[in-house]
Amino acid sequence: MTPLLLEHLDDFAGLARVRIHTDWTDDEDALADRMAGARVAMSTGFRAPASLLARIAPDVRCITFCGTGAVSFIDLEAARRCGITVCNAVHYGDNAVAEHAIALMFELTHRVGELNARTHAGGWPSADIAELGGRTLGLVGFGGIGRRVARLARGLGMRLLVWDRRPDGAALAELGATRAERMEDVFAGADVVSLHLALNDGTRGIIGPRHLDLIRPGGMLVNTARAELIAPGAMLERLRRGDILAAVDVTDPEPLPDDDPLRALPNLVITPHVAWRSDRALRALVEQNVRSATAFLRGKRYQVIV
């Protein structure tokens, strides 16, 4: 993201000097040293627990987070106690994540990546594939990304079944989607379940074994939202039964340890949290974070969540 940030240096003219660190570290001492004397810190995903926030609070008064899920990286309650403003970015990658969700569905059905790897390895492997058209896609969450996934899926000829606490009725009608009264109805009634909820105290672990047990044999689960939406261990235990498929772009923890049992599952496709990293999304992400930082320096507010 550094080249994109460099394009915006003039935005800080007369407001602040900009110090950029291009090498990654998650060491708390190093992070505290790097932010010493800074009024605003732009985060590209470092962890900010209460201990780090307390150390930087005398100087840092605002953190801009490069993403939507700040709660996964920053102790927001500790930031509030320390008087540190936290800003995030929204809707910057709706289309990128939605396309990746569809790509994961295609991998589960058409197996392009798997067949490419097998063919490059030698021989002429044979395999059956499946189609998405005519299947029912169940969406858990119907925000910006969920609605974009729905539009793409409808173009593929999929039926739509949607659960959301406050669904957009106009969007449901426009897309010809059916509203599910309960989240359980989506898991029981869809051929493919795709998760698109934001992670917060109300959604952490909201999906448990009883939901995953409702997925019919041959069904598929896709998660490009947050791994923590699913109760710890529940997806692993369901997939070990071997009768469903899953594809995820998110894990808990991240990075996923090399010896994590999820890596050994043949019915699971894993990508390393890259769904949001398109060229267009990265540009929009940097633009929002620069706007948040410069607004704070001017005594204004933009995308403030704490």
Q: To the nearest whole number, what is the mean pLDDT of the chain? A: 96
> Catalytic site residue 211?
no
Q: Which one of 226, 228, 238, 291 is the catalytic residue?
A: 226
Q: Which of 55, 196, 273, 291 is catalytic?
A: 273
Average pLDDT over residues 174-191: 98
Whether pLDDT at 163 is above 90: yes
Mean pLDDT score, 9-27: 94
Evaluate if residue 44 carries a pLDDT over 90: no
| Domain shared by 234 and 248, yes or no | yes
Q: Do 114 and 153 belong together in one domain? A: yes
- Whether 273 is catalytic is yes
Residue 159 forms part of a structural domain? yes
pTM, full prediction: 0.92
Shared domain check, 105 and 80: no
pLDDT for position 72: 84
Does the structure show a pLDDT above 90 at 222?
yes
Clarify whether residues 115 and 251 are in a common domain: yes
**Rounded alpha-carbon distances, angstroms, from residue 187 to 12, 77, 149, 257:** 48, 33, 17, 29
pLDDT (average), residues 80-105? 97
245 and 99 co-located in one domain: yes
Which H helix or E strand runs over 221? strand 220-223
Same domain, 232 and 113: yes
Mean per-residue pLDDT, 36-56: 95
Domain-located, residue 144: yes
Residue whose pair of structure tokens reads 């109300």 in the numeric block: 202
pLDDT-above-70 percentage for the chain: 100
Whether residue 191 is contained in a domain is answered as yes
Instruction: Please count the structural domains in the chain.
Output: 2
Beta-carbon contacts of residue 87 (< 8 Å; ≥ 6 apart): 62, 63, 64, 65, 289, 292, 293, 296, 302, 303, 304, 305
Residue 48 included in any domain? yes
Q: Which domain holds residue 126?
A: 94-270
pLDDT on residue 258: 98
* pLDDT tier at 1, thresholds 50, 70, 90: confident
Catalytic residue among 254, 263, 298, 301: 254
One domain for residues 212 and 114: yes
Work out the average pLDDT over 3-32: 94
303 within some domain = no
In CATH, what number is assigned to the domain containing residue 61? 3.40.50.720
Q: 303: pLDDT confidence band, cut at 50, 70 and 90? A: very high
Predicted confidence (pLDDT) at residue 24 exceeds the cutoff of 90: no
- 254 among known catalytic residues: yes
